[in-house]
Amino acid sequence: MNSLTATDERTLVLIRTLHASRELVFNAWSDPKHLVRWWGPNDFTLPHCEQDFRVGGTYRFCMRAPDGSDHWVRGRYLEISEPDLLVFTWLREDVPGDIWCDTVVRITLRQQGSRTEMELEQTTFATKDHCDEHREGWSECFDRLAYFLNPKTTSN
């Protein structure tokens, strides 16, 4: 069994600079037709994408791994301030009803000239291992987002 570590070791913060406007980045998060093109780690697909994009609305996604295994995530939108802020709960359940990750994600978008700085903060993971696993997954997901937004460039 994993023991609890300090809160700062169980909080994930990632910052990316994307070659796109803040509005375009926000739209990539808020529209299912965009989400299915970039969401998930490398080589994952998003065969199920339900989204009620409003404060109090819910979402439910199925990320399918290359080996065919399904990884479900769902949650509720807590705060939406277009085009600079998105806050939502994050519940991971690989077996229906078996929640193994219960956190809150905060996406902040800051315009920097023609680029956007995107900051993700996700807290608080039950273990440092869960935090590290999500760091890898989100990093790959953000690589895919950067390519989706501007296939001719990459993010910093």
pLDDT attached to residue 4: 43
> How far is Cα 144 from Cα 156, in angstroms, rounded to an integer?
13
**pTM as predicted:** 0.90
Spatial CB neighbours of 64, under 8 Å, sequence gap ≥ 6: 44, 45, 46, 47, 70, 71
Reported as a single tens digit per residue, the pLDDT across 103-116 is 999 999 999 999 99
For every residue of 55-101, DSSP letters joined together read TT-EEEEEEEPTTS-EEEEEEEEEEEETTTEEEEEEEEEEETTEEEE
- Segment 78-101, tens digit of pLDDT: 999 999 999 999 999 877 777 888
